[in-house]
Each structure stands twice: as C-alpha cells, then as structure tokens.
Amino acid sequence: MRLDGQRVLVMGGTSGIGLATARAATEAGAAVVVVGRNPLRLADALSSLPRERSEGRLVDATDRAALDRLAAVMGPIDHLVLSLATGGGAGAFRTLDLAALRKVVEGKAWAFLETLQAFLANLRPDGSVTFVTAATARAAFPGTVGIAFNNGALDAVVAPLAVELAPLRVNAVCPGVIETPIFAAWPEAERERFFARARAAPLGRPGKPEEVARAILALLSNPYVTGVRLEVDGGLRFTAPRDRDP
C-alpha cells in the first residue's frame, strides 16, 4: 500500500483518525497537507509528522469562502480524505437539542460536501475521495439518532458520487467505537454506554485511530475500489443493543 510521489489532503487531520491517516500516508511515501481550524492542534500535529513530507493549513471547513481561497493556492492533489467533525449529536431523541444538532451537521455532513465541491478541480481525475463517517449510520442503538442522521446522509451519497464523478473514486470508511478525542464532547452516560457496546462486540474492545487509518490507506492505494462503505468497527454492527431510551 504505497503512495510514493502522491499528494494527500487530509481535512480534519490534526487529531484522532485524521492525524493517524496523515501519519500513515507519509509512512507510505506520500506528501501530506493537514488542514485544521485550531492553530495549537495544527502545530502539535505537524510536530509529529515528517517535516519534509508534511505541511499544514489553518482553515475552518464551514467557511466556503476560506475553502475556495485554499483550493485556489493548493495545486494538484491525488487524494482527499475528509475526517471533519465537531463532536456532539448523541443523546436520547426525546430531549435531543435539534438546534445544536443542526450545527453538528453543518460541521460534518454539510462541510464534507462543501469541501469536496471546492477541491474537485484540484483532484487528479482518477484519484480518490474518502469520507470518514461512522458505523452508527446503519446501526440501531438508542441515543444515536443525531449521529445516524449526520453520518447516514454522507453514506447515502457515496454511491451516486462514485458514479457521477468517475473515474475519480469515492469511498467511505465507517468506524465503530474508536478511542479519539471526539468522545470528550459526548454526555458521560452516552460515552460509557457506547464503550460498553464495543466491549460486547466480537473483538471486545474499542478500536484505535491507527486501525482506521490502515483501512483508509487501503482505499487510497487500490485503484479498482469505488463506491464502497468499509466497516471498521470490531463487529459492533453484529451486537444487539441491550438498553432502550427510557
């Protein structure tokens, strides 16, 4: 799974799965551009990557004008990885703050589409786009309606985008419970309940960002894969929920 001589743009690449993907891509020989909106996190991320094969840009992906300005100076890219997320969206539907959920969706599903549209002209015609969504898009766990809404919208557009934009390849990686900083934004009860589900799944533990990054690298490097949703969830999808929304 080599990417020698190729250029990868990782949106949301300053922590968690995005940063692990940037690291894996540089180890595979790629030059990586890491984009984030927090200057301290961006500096920390770059300090952990090979200086000669990485660069960083500070951009808020919810700002279309800023995305367009970055695209205008970015130059050609071979692969675009979208790992944007604002956190939030978990909780029982009866009391779910829908106004807050709207902002969560704008920070992920809507930002994914805005970013892809902005960088289409930069992408190699037969390059790739990889969405990082979530296994909750197809699961049926209480307390995840907001997350399913956000990620399910992205999952739904993978196949039509793959057909419409071909030979550009469009895929999604769908992580399960992965130990990333994003869980800090979840209500404590929901976070603990979700981690318990991971421990009850066939592989018996939460996943690591590096394990998701390997799956992303496989999609980037295989020129004959498009329109797929690759589950990286330790078998979480086979685990029946044992709790119910009271």
Q: Which residues contact 49 (CB under 8 A, 6 or more apart)?
A: 22, 23, 26, 32, 34
Nearest to 147 by CA among 88, 209, 207, 84: 88
Residue 167 preceded by cis peptide, ω within 30: yes
pLDDT of residue 105: 95
What stretches in the chain show pLDDT beneath 70?
185-186, 240-246
DSSP-based three-state secondary structure for 79: strand
pLDDT digits (tens, 9 = 90+) for 3-46: 999 999 999 999 999 999 999 999 999 999 999 999 999 999 99
Q: In what order do the strands lie in the sheet with 54-58?
A: 54-58, 31-36, 7-11, 77-82, 123-132, 169-175, 229-232
pTM: 0.93
Domains defined for the chain, CATH in brackets: 7-229 (3.40.50.720)
- How far is residue 146's CA from residue 144's CA, in Å, rounded to a whole number? 6
Give the tens place of pLDDT for each residue, 155-178. 999 999 999 999 999 999 999 989
